[in-house]
Amino acid sequence: MTTRLYSHPIYLEHLTPPGHPERPDRLRAVARVLEDEAFAKLDRIEAPLGDEATILYAHPEEFVEKVRRSIPEEGIVSVDADTSVSPKSWEAALTAIGAANAAVDDVFSGAADNVFVASRPPGHHAEKTTAMGFCLFNNAAIAARYAQRRHGAERVAVVDWDVHHGNGTQDIFWDDPSVLYCSTHQMPLYPGTGAKNETGAGNIVNAPLAPRTGSDTFRDAFLSRVLPAIDNFRPDLVIISAGFDAHHRDPLAEINLTEEDFDWATGQLMGRATQFSNNRVVSLLEGGYDLQGLAFSVGAHVKRLMKG
């Protein structure tokens, strides 16, 4: 099993205000844990700059230009109450998209069985025409559309276990039955979407988790809602919106998962990818704001990807 890792120093240059949870230290923590000898066989590639035209697979041109115009020449500028940009944010966002699309190329060409993309800014809150929740563009949605347009994928499943609902991914694929979107997330919590009755064209599967629940509730949601939906859908590609803020140490939520839960969920999705998708799994980093919880969870996730 070949697992590829994409990252890039430019991700550290997307700056946020002091005290902001989505900070460059997140990727430093991930890089440190992946330096362990257990990850010696990881195929490490520097992420490429993305093709700007692929952003239009998920976002209209007017919105793309609005984001571009928001980038300052110096300092940090707020896009909304939670989301900021700095001079290198455009390049960082474009390189996050480039890595996600390159990962899709890799799993369809056979260059890798699966890929983990350690990038920022994250993407799953970015709606068609709105940057929000620390996110500028929706990396997972662009990658799903890229797989369909460039590699002929008929059905793509996006599974989002970030503790916050991926309202952006849901918004983009709301009426598109060629993409299955499954999300486990704490509810109530930001951004307020993700109820079970939000089903789109029958392709949206939300499994909200009550605050202060943990492994049993999360695993039951996977077994009862997420995995049966994937079995029925039979995807050509599985994309994971891999947020690790449902970890019990995370300061922004109240779901009590451990790194073993992320290991388990990864294994479950890999099993479906083996069954339906010729092992093709692309995992994109989303949230995770306690540095230790993030690092340990990423370590467990990537170890499971490497084990096959």
- Strand order of the β-sheet with 237-242 is 43-46, 3-7, 114-117, 281-285, 237-242, 156-160, 179-186, 204-209
CA distance 125 to 146: 19
Q: What is the DSSP string of 219-252?
A: HHHIIIIIHHHHHHH--SEEEEEE--TTBTT-TT
The pLDDT of residue 275: 98
What is the pTM (predicted TM-score) of this model?
Answer: 0.98
Which H or E element spans position 264?
Answer: helix 259-276
Check if 165 is active-site: no
Q: Letter for the amino acid at 172?
A: I
Q: What totals of helices (H) and strands (E) does the chain contain, helices first?
A: 9, 10
Q: How far apart are the C-alpha atoms of 283 and 100, rounded to whole Å? A: 8
DSSP state of 21: S
- Please report, for residues 23, 177, 230, 285, 286, the alpha-carbon distance to residue 199 in angstroms, rounded to integers and kept in the order given: 33, 11, 15, 25, 22
CA distance 171 to 163: 17
On whether the CB atoms of residues 47 and 95 are closer than 8 A, the answer is: yes
Residue closest to 306 by CA, chosen among 115, 86, 56: 115
Q: Which domains does the chain have, with CATH numbers?
A: 3-307 (3.40.800.20)
- At 163-195, the pLDDT tens digits run 999 999 999 999 999 999 999 999 999 999 999
Say which residue the tokens 């340990």 belong to.
296
Predicted confidence (pLDDT) per residue in 62-85, tens digit: 999 999 999 999 999 999 999 999
Measured between alpha carbons, how far is 9 from 68 in angstroms, rounded to an integer?
Answer: 21
What average pLDDT does range 202-208 have in this prediction? 98
CB 140 within 8 A of CB 61: no
pLDDT of the residue at 308: 77
DSSP 114-157: EEEE--SS--TT-BTTB-BTTBSS-HHHHHHHHHHHHH--S-EE
Are residues 246 and 211 in contact, defined by beta-carbon separation less than 8 angstroms? Answer: no
pLDDT tens for each residue of 236-271? 999 999 999 999 999 999 999 999 999 999 999 999
Catalytic hit among 59, 125, 164, 247: 125
Dihedral sign, CA of 146, 150, 154, 155? negative
- Which DSSP state fits 47? P
Q: Which pLDDT score is estimated for 62? A: 98
Which is it for strands 43-46 and 3-7: parallel, antiparallel or unpaired?
parallel
Band the pLDDT of 128: cuts 50, 70, 90: very high
- Burial of residue 251 (CB within 10 Å: 0-12, 13-18, 19+) is exposed
pLDDT at residue number 1? 77
